[in-house]
Amino acid sequence: MSDLQAPRNELRIAMVGAGTMAGAHSLALRNLRHLYPGLALHPRLVAVADINRTLAGGLAERFGYERVVTDAQAVIEADDVDLVVACLPPALNRDVVLAAAAAGKHVVSEKPLGVSAEDAVAMLRACRAAGVFHGLAAGYRWSPAVRAMAGIIQDGELGAIRSMRASFMLDYAADPDVPLLWRFRKSMAGGGIAIDTGYHLVDLARYLVGEIAHVQALSATFIAERALPSADAVGNRGGVSAAPAARQTGPVDVEDAAAALLGFSGGAYGVLETSRIAIGKRLSLQIEVYGDRGSADWDLERPDEFRVCLPGDPSTFGFRRVLVNPAHPGAAELLIGGTDGTSIGWLGQECAMWAEFLGAIAEGRPGTADFTDGVRDSAVIDALYASAATGTRTRVTLPADLG
Ligand SMILES: NC(=O)c1ccc[n+]([C@@H]2O[C@H](COP(=O)([O-])OP(=O)(O)OC[C@H]3O[C@@H](n4cnc5c(N)ncnc54)[C@H](O)[C@@H]3O)[C@@H](O)[C@H]2O)c1
């Protein structure tokens, strides 16, 4: 065995990007060995690549990456890397994924998968042709509470699903001093808040209720001009540098808020809303699902519980709060000592996602969310933008070879 071959139980990872989500993934990956000692593959953090060497160096120091580079291609092609994580602004993730697939590397991409369904299809096809694992980091699918809700829906406990409502509301963009980050530029983000947090809503709607056939949407921009950011601005408020943003400004060419009506292929309808100018909503994600027998809902501000309303005694009829417990899929490993009430939260769902991806790679099977989901999610977002632009109901169109 050469030096460049990993021990059989190790998966050597290169992180491309060193911003907010690269930190979240690294934190989860660092915890996996302790939370899931039985995993067939354990992650080894080999390299981090970012144009900002200081940021990449900081990530390496915090999480123990073995080397830091500014040229992503150098780590994508390196013999000691098995899996590449694409964690850059959306427009840049496509090239990372295509290069990784060409080099025969497994890949996990942040959402959105590229900036359009066309991008997403190219990424899916490249991974299929190379025969590599492709995971979509649609993290909320791994919340044990959301998984439990999905199980209840699949088991038919709510009956036939008639409707769903979901919202993802934030407020960082209500501050006019937040600079013109990549998130406010179509060329880098592919769109505004719809392709960003709206993507999660679409993915969860598909996960919980089913495929989406058509969309009727509208979008709005409230702050049309922002100061140019400093070179090292990251996150959604432009943190890192203490240097003031340049006085020079540039146009915001994407939406701050969007709302959509969905028609599901199965006959249900959905109502989605997402905004980054909803003052007081720091990171508020809520989902409600209504069937002909019962209902269920989840609120990210209370991530370890969900509510159900099922038929029962009229004197006690109503919503019942269910705390995530070890009987729920994916929960036991994340509850301290397997004890209900010890909290799982956002980091827990991230750990569960990575544990499942590593298990899937070891077993040669797809993960719970892959690039096929990315193509489907992106196609809905494309339809949402087309509908918002034309004011008409728009069908979701998919490439023929998706199945
Ligand atoms: N799954 C989630 O819940 C979630 C949450 C936030 C962001 N995201 C996604 O993760 C990805 C990264 O987002 P983030 O929040 O970590 O971003 P961020 O702004 O915090 O970090 C972006 C990183 O990309 C690097 N970069 C490389 N080339 C760049 C360029 N030309 N311009 C700007 N930055 C460049 C920056 O140096 C930085 O390290 C995006 O696809 C985003 O949609 C997902």
- Counting from 1 in the atom list of ligand 1, the atom nearest the Cα of 139 is 1
- Counting from 1 in the atom list of ligand 1, the atom nearest the Cα of 56 is 39
Alpha-carbon gap, residue 355 to 348, rounded angstroms: 10
Peptide bond into 314 cis (omega under 30): no
Per-residue confidence (pLDDT) for residue 1, from 0 to 100: 34
DSSP code per residue over 227-278: EPPPTT-BTTTTBS--SPPPS-EEE--S-SEEEEEEEETTS-EEEEEEES--
Residue in the structure block whose two tokens are 């500014």: 70
**Alpha-carbon dihedral angle through residues 5, 6, 9, 13, given to the nearest 10 degrees:** -130
Residue 403 lies in a domain: no
- Counting from 1 in the atom list of ligand 1, the atom nearest the Cα of 24 is 16
Tell me the one-letter amino acid at 345.
G
**Do 357 and 216 reside in the same domain of the chain?**
yes
Q: Is 284 helix (H, G, I), strand (E, B) or coil?
A: strand
Give the CATH number of the domain where residue 187 resides: 3.30.360.10
Task: Give the count of domains, the chain.
Answer: 2
Nearest CA-CA partner of 110 in 32, 211, 190, 52: 190
Of all protein residues, the one whose alpha carbon is nearest to atom 37 of ligand 1 is 52
How many Cα atoms sit within 13 Å of 131 on the Cβ side? 1
**pLDDT one digit per residue (tens) for the chain, 403 residues:** 334 566 779 999 999 999 999 999 999 999 999 999 999 999 999 999 999 999 999 999 999 999 999 999 999 999 999 999 999 999 999 999 999 999 999 999 999 999 999 999 999 999 999 999 999 999 999 999 999 999 999 999 999 999 999 999 999 999 999 999 999 999 999 999 999 999 999 999 999 999 999 999 999 999 999 999 988 888 888 875 545 555 799 999 999 999 999 999 999 999 999 999 999 999 999 999 999 999 999 999 999 999 999 999 999 999 999 999 999 999 999 999 888 889 999 999 999 999 999 999 999 999 999 999 999 999 999 999 999 999 999 999 998 877 6
Residue 187 CB neighbour total at 10 angstroms: 11
Question: Can you give the pTM of this predicted structure?
Answer: 0.96
Per-residue confidence (pLDDT) for residue 263, from 0 to 100: 98
Tell me how far CA of residue 323 lies from CA of 69, 298, 343, in angstroms: 44, 11, 10
**Do 65 and 91 reside in the same domain of the chain?**
yes
Taking the centre of ligand 1 as the mean of its atom positions, its distance from the CA of residue 341, in whole angstroms, is 32
- Best of 50, 53, 76, 88 to mutate for ligand 1, by most ligand atoms within 8 A of CB? 88
- Domain span holding position 99: 10-140
**Alpha-helix residue ranges (DSSP H) falling in 4-143:** 20-35, 53-63, 72-76, 90-102, 117-130
Alpha-carbon gap, residue 234 to 236, rounded angstroms: 7
Residue 381 lies in a domain: yes
Residue 280 lies in a domain: yes
Q: Is 29 helix (H, G, I), strand (E, B) or coil?
A: helix
**Do 240 and 319 reside in the same domain of the chain?**
yes
Domain end, chosen from 106, 123, 140, is at 140
Give the CATH number of the domain where residue 64 resides: 3.40.50.720
Q: Are strands 269-275 and 284-291 parallel, antiparallel or unpaired?
A: unpaired
Pocket of ligand 1 (CB under 6 A): 17-22, 50-52, 55, 87-90, 92-93, 110-111, 137, 139, 182, 196, 234-235
Does residue 148 contact residue 329 with C-beta atoms inside 8 Å?
yes
Q: In what order do the strands lie in the sheet with 257-264?
A: 320-323, 305-309, 295-299, 284-291, 161-169, 269-275, 257-264, 212-220, 394-395
Alpha-carbon gap, residue 323 to 304, rounded angstroms: 6
- Counting from 1 in the atom list of ligand 1, the atom nearest the Cα of 23 is 16
